[in-house]
Structures are given as C-alpha cells and as structure tokens.
Amino acid sequence: MNGMYGKGILKGLKVSFLRFVDTYLDDLRWIGKRYRTPQGIAHRGSKGARGIFTVQYPEEKIPVPEEFRFIPFLVYNEGPNGEKNLLCTSCGICSKVCPPQCIWIERMVDSSTGRPKPDPAEFFIDADICMNCGLCAEFCPFDAIKMDHNYELASYGRDIYDKSRLSKSTQYYESVRPDNAARENSARAAKQAARTGVANIN
Amino acid sequence: MVTPTPVQNADLTARFPNILIPDSRPGFSGWLLDKSNLLEFATVLRDEFGYDYLSSVAGVDYLPEGKMEVAYQLYKTTGGPGLLFKVQVPRQDPVEIPSLVSIYPGAEFQEREAWDLLGIKFTGHPDLRRILMWEGFAGFPLRKDWREPYFEEESKPYKNRWPDGKIVMAESNNIFDDNIAYPSDFDPENHTFDPERALYDSLRAFQKNEVGLNSDHIIVNLGPQHPSTHGVFRVAVILDGETIVSLRPVMGYLHRNHEKIGERNTYIMNMPYTDRLDYLASMSNNFGYALAVEKLMAIKPPERAEYIRVIMAEMTRISNHLFLIGTLLNDLGAYFTPMLYALEERELILDIFEAVAGSRMMCNYFRFGGVARDLSDEILQKIEEIFFERLPGRIDELDRFLSENEIIRSRGIGQGVLTAEDAIRYSAAGPLLRASGIPYDVRRAEPYSVYDRFEFDVCTRKHGDVYDRLMLRFDEIRQSIRIIQQAVKQIPGGPVLSVKPMYQVRVPPGEAYGRVEGPKGELGFYLVSNGKPNPWRYHVRAPSFINLTAFGPMCIGQKIADLVAVLGSVDIVLGEVDR
C-alpha cells in the first residue's frame, strides 16, 4: 500500500464529518420548516436532500403517490335516498384473476325468478391473504373495484372485509385517485356518447 | 480447467450422428438424447464445442406421457446463443439419470433440487440429499400427482370463489385430509429419525489434513437465526481451530414451493409472485418472466415499453447493489453508517417505483406485451433529476468513503477467492462471475429487449475476492446510471402495451426459456405450456441459489470470521434461494 497507513480511513472519516456538518447546515437553512411540514417532508425525499433523511413516522407521514395500492375497495354511487349503488356487477373477473384467490363473491339471485342478477349479494376479501397486487382493479371492466391508499390496518384479529366494509363512495375514489378517476370518467363519457350517437359532447 | 478447442464448422449432428434427435414436439426446440450418452455428450460439448457454462438444469414431470425429463441449458462464456438438450426417462421409480457434477460442478445444487422436488435420482452425484425440503420428508412435491396441504383444485381460479362465494377461511380446513400419504413403513409410535444426520455425515466427508497439530475438529452452525445470514440461511461448518475445513449450506427455511404455486396459477397470476422471489429486485424478476411468456406467445412490447423496462431494470440493479454495499459493510462490522448512506439513495429509487408501479418493492409492473401503465412526464423528470444530478456524485462519495479504507481492504483483499476457472465450473453468475474476470453479461452476450442500443461496459475485476466483488458493484452502478441516462434521453412516445389487456392470456403449447441479467446474475424462467390457462412447468433459474454452489469452495481454508464477509459478497436473498 502506498502512502501512510490509515489515510483511507481518514478520507472516509472526512466524508462522514462533512455529512455531519451538513445535517446542521441543512437544519439551519430550513429552520422551523424542515420537520412536520409538507414541504419539509418533500424536501427530504427530493434530489437536493441533505442531512437527516428520516421521516418521523407517525408524527410525519410521506404522502403516498396516486398509484399506491393497498387492499381493494368497492366503489358505489350514492342514490337520491342515500342508497349505495355498487358499480360491481358480480361478473367475477376480479375473483378469477386474483393470484392468492382471496376474493369471494356471492352473486345476487332474483328471489321471484331464481335468475342471477348483476349485483353482488355478498363480497368478501380476505385481507390477510390479499397480496396488494392490484390485478383485480386493473382488470375490472366496470371500474368497480379499486385499490385503496390506507395502509394503517394493524389489527389484533383476522381481517375479512365484507361488502359493507369494502364499499366506498365515488367521491372517496375521486379524492384518492383523481387522475385515474378523471381518465375513466372521460373514457366512459366518450363511450356513452358513441352509443347514444352524440358526436361531440364538448 | 480444460481449455476448449473450438471445432471449426462444428456441427453437432455430424459429431453425434445417431444419438441426437431433434425435439420435434410443436413449440419445442433443442435436442433429445438417451441417458446412456449423456456424459459423453456433455464432455464433448464442454471440451470440443466450448459450451463451458451449464446455466440451468430443470426437471419436468410429463405425467400424461409417463415420462420425466431433465432440460439442460448450456452457454459459452464467450457469448452467443445457448444450447438446449433434454434427457427423457420413463416415470417409473427409480427415475435415474447420470449426474453431470463431474463435468459441470455447477449442476450440484440444481440436481439436488431436481431430486428433492421431482424425485429424479442423479447417479454419481457426490452428495445427493434433499436441499429445500427436509431430510425425512416423504414424496416429491413438484410431481404432478403430488398434492400440498390445503390443496383445493389442480389449478386456479378455484370454482368456489364465484358465483357462489361462501367464504371459508383457509385455516379452518383440515390440512391432514385425504391429500396426505404416509410411507408404508411409517410407525408414528416408534418413529425416531435424526433429520440432521445426513447433513453431518456429508459435512464430515472431507479430506483430513494430517499435517500440523492434531487438534479436535468442531462443528459450528451459523444461522438460521443469525443476523449476518440475511435471512434464514444456515451454514454448517467444521472448524480446525478457526479455519474452515468443511462447509455445507443448509437452506429451505423459507421454501414455499414457488414453482408448484406457479403451476397452479394462471400466467398473469405469476407476475406478482415473481416479485417475491428476489424481493430486492422485483422489476428484474418481472422482466425475466415477461420475456419467457412473450416468447411463448410470440408477441413483442412496443418501443416505449421496452425503454421503460430497461430503465426500471437498471434502477432495480442500482437499488440492489446499493443494498448489497450497505449490508456487506454491516457484515464487516461497519455498523449502519455505510448502510444508511446507501439506503438513502435507494430510497429515492423506491419512491419512483412507488409512483410508477404502486408499490416500493412488490412492483408487479410488467405485463405480457408491455408494462402495466405509462410513465408520466413528471416521473420521467424526477428520474432525470436523480440520475443526472444526484446519484453520480453520491456514488462517488460512497466510493471515497469506503474503497480506500484500510480495514475494508484488509478484510476483503485475498479473502474468499473464486478463480475464473472455478467461477465458470460452478456456474457462478452475475457479479460473482465478473469479479473473477469473466466478462459475461446476458445483456451483452445475448441482448434482450433494447439493450443492444445502449453504450455500456461489461465491468470485470481480476482477483475474484471479497474486495473485488464490492468494487464491482460500484462499477456496475455507474454503468447502470449510464444506461438510464441514455434511455431517458432516447425514450420514444407511444403506447406501452401491444396487446389488449386480458385477465387470462392464451398461450400456445411449447416451451420457452427467458433470461435476463438480474442484479444477482442470470435469472431464467423455463416455461412449458400445454395450451391450458396455467403453465405445465414453471422453473426458475435462481441466480443466488446457484451462486451458493461456489460458496463452499470459496470458504474452505478461510477463517470462520471471514465466512460472513464472503457470504455477504455473494449477495443472496433468501426469497430467491429457497423459493
């Protein structure tokens, strides 16, 4: 080895020392704004991030991006009398594409005719088996099942979500996934327009 | 090492006129040969034709035809297309095929795996024990007539989920129902069995060195609960003083029979499961699997998707190598400062994955014929910022921080040496192979996707020791940054999926082997389709599993304290080793 023994260690220590100084410099530069503020959290995850990187969960939370996926939910439109009209037609595609097979759907049957109705009588997701892959939401032809953003689901027991726990409003969906919702709405509107023969809706 | 003397105008069929039969099943390729000719054929391939690298050994159970097959995938480390040949034998036990370990020592673990899971007995194998299942386990789980506990149906989707989905919790089922079979001589009252015996017998079979002090040998077990083993990996060693004289890796603690699950799944269902193989490099796993299925379906992704795939795969490589640098330094005792410096940068990459794919580690982003969703300009902008403005400087800083450190150098240089010859013989792949001086990289040797459009170097180091392996990761990160910089500049517009998204794809019968250069080495997926919605055979050539074949030889003669450093430099992820 050429040179003094320990030179490499000193060189490394210099890097550490500069980082150490940087921590305080960055704190000074952002004084009062670095912690527990949205722009401070964003700064710590940006290309210019220096100093302490850590986000102090749960006091601080990194906002999740729109595509973030965690446990599916069912979208409903609220009717005039507050009834929840699920978009789900119980076609079963989500349950057929689900890799760990954690979706169980019971199709509604018309009690007078005995024929199946396009509505789920029950809808279960075994949340402890769900692997959050998002395939159900991706392949749903009716935009009826979507992935949620809520990741704070710790519980003491076994989590099986039934239809009522899974149902969330269109407004909620639009609030967590605004871009996706807008895209789907315009696609639906275009389809509708094509079907009714209206050439231009704008 | 046997120096290959390449035959001019080498023609396999001329060299073996009567014993090679082309595999003429529709959709299949390669050669079929009789097991009696296997050893001779393999020797000639290695010595005369230059196929010095045995990449993959995959057993297949053709239950309806009453046959068992082993498919061998050979390559030349000088590059070029591979050679696929198969040996078929009747399915009656004992299913016996000669072992190739004497010619390609890299077959050792793969043959043990095929024995363990498919019950193919490799005659002449020096150490044919179970590898993923435990000694004493009865049955061969990958055989088509074997059923796992909680067995529901032969293939998904299961019929009781829809339209009459009355939920049953899996744990309320009786796992010891009609799908469990006891061996005929099994007597639970008087059953005594030492599952460790085979391991220790094998461990004790080493050449004793009578020179020096006649000291006692002691057996030491590292793991499976040991922080340096990066998971639930166990190493059984015999020590002479502090020196390792014999070593056997013990694995399978995280075994979930990924391949059996894969054969029950439909094709698209396997995509999220591949994320869970090497969970530090899920995009690469997606890539390999997508390539294999696309080969079967004969489709190609659109241009934009190809570029997105390359960007994602290279980002995965960087994040994986950063993680390795951090954990290796942890293993060397530099507790957590280097680790956190590396993880900071990795974090930025994971943020991009989260925004693109929806999840930081379990990306599930690739689809057959493209990717799941487009990359927005915003994200592209962020990638550009990070890979042009931040990461190059940060990697240089990390390099300054570590590579001249005298402690790291003395712990790394000359430790755990794997020579170039041994690296090839043991089928080492990826950084392990290149740190030994073999410039073999699937991205260059057999370019897939659009890798032929980018300028990058295949990095090598000369000595094949721990330090070189660490430094090679730095080199590779820099090359990956180079590729990403080019890809971001060149990425065209257009669609990201060339086919209509379908929840159940139609895959014609046949076989395909898709391989990519994953961060840990050559990651291959061998698929056999019979036209049904789920694959008949789904085999993963797991690089960190096969890289462990060379782990024992690298450690013999080392001090026990250095074993941890050597293991750290191999870079294993137990999700992939145990599958």
3-state secondary structure chain A: CCCCCCHHHHHHHHHHHHHHHHHHHHHHHCCCCCCCCHHHHHHHCCCCCCCCCCCCCCCCCCCCCCCCCEEEEEEEEECCCCCEEECCCCCCHHHHHCCCCCEEEEEEECCCCCCEEEEEEEEEEECCCCCCCCHHHHHCCCCCEEEECCCCCCCCCCCEECHHHHEEEHHHHHHHCHHHHHHHHHHHHHHHHHHHCCCCCC
Q: First vs last Cα of chain B: how many Å apart? A: 32
Residue holding tokens 């673990």?
B109
Low-confidence residues of chain A: pLDDT under 50:
201-202
ipTM associated with this complex: 0.90
* CA B507 – CA B184 distance, rounded (Å): 41
Closest chain A residue to B390, measured at CA: A47
**CA atoms in the 13 A half-sphere facing the CB of B577:** 25
Q: Decide if A97 touches B, using CB distance below 8 A.
A: yes
pLDDT at residue B166, rounded to an integer? 86
Least confident of A41-50, B210-219, B316-325, B343-352: B210-219
User: For chain B, what are the domain ranges?
Assistant: 12-123, 258-574
Is the residue at A173 inside a domain?
yes
* Count of C-beta atoms within a 10 Å radius of residue A200: 5
> Does residue A161 sit in the same domain as residue A95?
yes
Chain B residues with beta carbon closer than 8 angstroms to that of A92: 161-163
Is the residue at A202 inside a domain?
no
pLDDT at residue A198, rounded to an integer? 55
* Chain A interface, best mutation among B256, B359, B362, B385, by max A CB count within 10 A: B359
Residue pair B80/B445 in contact (Cβ under 8 Å)? The answer is yes
> Does residue A23 sit in the same domain as residue A88?
no
C-alpha torsion angle, residues A13, A19, A25, A30 (rounded to 10): -170
The total of structural domains in chain A comes to: 2
Which comes out higher in pLDDT, residue B430 or B178? B430
Which residues have C-beta within 8 Å of that of residue B450, sequence separation ≥ 6?
Answer: B303, B306, B307, B310
> Does residue A144 sit in the same domain as residue A167?
yes
> Does residue A132 sit in the same domain as residue A189?
yes
pLDDT at residue B2, rounded to an integer? 44
Q: Which residue, among B362, B408, B391, has the nearest Cα to B569 in the 3D structure?
A: B408
How far, CA to CA in Å, does B179 sit from each of B66, B136, B152, B259?
22, 18, 10, 19
Which pair of structure tokens corresponds to residue B471?
């430094």
Q: Can you give the pTM of this predicted structure?
A: 0.91
pLDDT at residue B3, rounded to an integer? 44
* CA B497 – CA B506 distance, rounded (Å): 16
Which comes out higher in pLDDT, residue B148 or B300? B300
Is the residue at A201 inside a domain?
no
Tell me: the pLDDT tens digits for A52-85? 888 989 999 999 999 999 999 999 988 888 888 8
> Does residue A76 sit in the same domain as residue A58?
no
Residue pair B408/B467 in contact (Cβ under 8 Å)? The answer is yes
How sure is the predictor about B9, in pLDDT bands with cuts at 50, 70 and 90? very low
Q: What is the CATH number of the domain that holds A114?
A: 3.30.70.3270
Residue range(s) defining the domain that contains residue A37: 7-63
Tell me: the pLDDT tens digits for B370-380? 999 999 999 99
Which residues have C-beta within 8 Å of that of residue B92, sequence separation ≥ 6?
Answer: none
Residue pair B228/B564 in contact (Cβ under 8 Å)? The answer is yes
Mean pLDDT, residues B297-316? 93
- Assess if CATH 3.30.460.80 describes domain B12-123: yes
Q: Decide if B493 touches A, using CB distance below 8 A.
A: no
How far, CA to CA in Å, does B329 sit from each of A7, B344, B407, B412?
19, 15, 11, 11
Mean pLDDT, residues B295-308? 92
Q: Which residue, among B109, B120, B203, B117, has the nearest Cα to B427 in the 3D structure?
A: B109
* CA A59 – CA B41 distance, rounded (Å): 66
Multiple choice CATH, B258-574, 3.30.70.270, 1.10.645.10, 3.90.1640.10, 1.10.468.10: 1.10.645.10
Q: Which residue, among B286, B263, B288, B300, has the nearest Cα to B364 in the 3D structure?
A: B286
Is the residue at A1 inside a domain?
no
pLDDT at residue A2, rounded to an integer? 58
Mean pLDDT, residues B286-292? 93
Residue holding tokens 């999220």?
B272
Q: Decide if B167 touches A, using CB distance below 8 A.
A: yes
> Does residue A101 sit in the same domain as residue A137?
yes
> Does residue A44 sit in the same domain as residue A86?
no
> Does residue A58 sit in the same domain as residue A76?
no
Three-state SS string over B533-552 comes to: CCCCEEEEECHHHHHHHHHH
**Mean pLDDT of the residues in chain B:** 88
Task: Check B354 against A68: CB less than 8 A apart.
Answer: yes
> Does residue A126 sit in the same domain as residue A191?
yes
Residue window 155-194, chain A: list those with CB within 8 Å of chain B: 158, 160
Percent of chain B with pLDDT over 70: 96
Task: Check B406 against A1: CB less than 8 A apart.
Answer: yes
How sure is the predictor about B6, in pLDDT bands with cuts at 50, 70 and 90? very low
Least confident of B67-71, B150-154, B398-402, B432-436: B150-154
* CA B509 – CA B525 distance, rounded (Å): 16
Q: Decide if B500 touches A, using CB distance below 8 A.
A: no
Task: Check B406 against A5: CB less than 8 A apart.
Answer: yes
> Does residue A171 sit in the same domain as residue A148?
yes
Least confident of A126-130, B114-118, B171-175, B262-266: B171-175
Mean pLDDT, residues B498-513? 89
pLDDT at residue B287, rounded to an integer? 94
Three-state SS string over B63-117 comes to: CCCCEEEEEEEEECCCCCCCEEEEEEEECCCCEEEECCCCCCCCHHHHHHHHHHH
Mean pLDDT, residues B455-482? 92
